[in-house]
A and B are shown apart, each in its own frame.
Chain A
């Protein structure tokens, strides 16, 4: 036969709880009952943290900030599938991921207030600093995966990046190498439909981002990124596979950035109110609450209590962040190299006065 089909691609999409809060019976039974409260509490906390960050920015108490509103299920559902000893490699929009991993909010606020000490990861967590050049972190994750494989550890790597980042060469090179070396990396694309003013459709002619994994020889899946259960399920499967030596997975979390790109952006200049409103109606907490209520896991009193606890924690974190004394000017020289050059030593002496 001169022409024969030598490959076929099937792109899967996963949803566990639909927008009405109804769950797929066979899928939902695979998740532990105890997890929904964790979802609800962490999303509530991250959302409050985010809200306060935005108002602090407006008051001039915090610098330019990248909101996570609308993306909480994608961030938290995925992060909760990892252990604290796994490696987390964020872009610059992953406050929700970091909070889910137990990163101190005080440090996150400090970071966004403009303080490099905010990215000094505490002992017990393996989180690399936020990455400002979009997409460069993709290859770092492959290197971390390589280290894990080399040391024979039972750990996985999460690398977060946006739909915009998926156009970078580093995305393709990173995924290709992870496939070749069969590394324990979970590629978590936060497809929030926009890269500042560039819509997803202008980013690539491909229908999904998930399907790209096929050309690198591993699995890719799209999940409803506003369904925290689906994100968790897909990620947990990928983590288990990675730890069992099964190699990488690409997960495209199909979600939406409800706020401006950052506080210096004005999204009304490039997208319609109708589009935003339609996605608002699909935001992750609505369906989670409906589902939990049916299961008897949610009540107004419970929610009030969760909010109270979360806002106390956020208040305390802000208080601690603002009470931190400013960094010592000499720090900037001090940490530039392991051993300082003569010029640096001289400049350090000048700064130390």
Chain B
């Protein structure tokens, strides 16, 4: 079975081709120009998607040595994401599917992230614990199989990636914040400042706005960001990173005490964070679980995960019509309640 995947939910246009279990192309065009504006400008993002989508599809087909005719399923991200951006990839994909008479599935981007570990050599084993840590989402999920996903916890305010981005901005480190914080933290002393890790009534939920505010207060107490030395900034970055990662691993640990799983899988852009990886790996060793953290190319937004999710749904009998709608956010009850 051959799947063509298309992703355009934010600032990456991506096209992938999955031939049975083999990924033959995963092309990602990143819109770097947003860095000039300190964040993604939706209109510019939509314009760029429309320009690059067709060349990417052609290259992906060529790279995989196939023609559109050989494709069995076209899977495109339907949401969550920026509506204008989603519309480009989704509508383009529908146009392809209609005229080439292929099956079509509109994929949930977050479900794409959840199953992105299956693109790795060593795949998650069901049931697994999934920690989704991206720019817009922080979720802890129990995944029993490809269609049964339980929500154990989620953030009540900011997403963890958002916290990295905001703190980086606050420290004047630039955008996107995650990698900047990670780099600064390498030179910093994490024991310097004791930032709070908030605990919620719902023990598996997360909160990051208190942490962000604590960093802001600290910066203010030092006389503002302009008064900070590079070493100060590095220490703040390192201390923040430790607190943020602690908030994540603490809940993973709690979930491990409550639910029997085979694998821990950490996915989404923040899964690229080296410190988070090492802390999760330590935890997994202690609990004797496998860890699956996708490679960098599968952590951020990519079409390979969309193609894979499309395929797993297809194999479970799912088909969408071309009236499938884009949606901006994940509905509150999208996942099953435990």
Q: Do A and B bind each other?
A: no
Residues of B within 8 A of A (CB): none
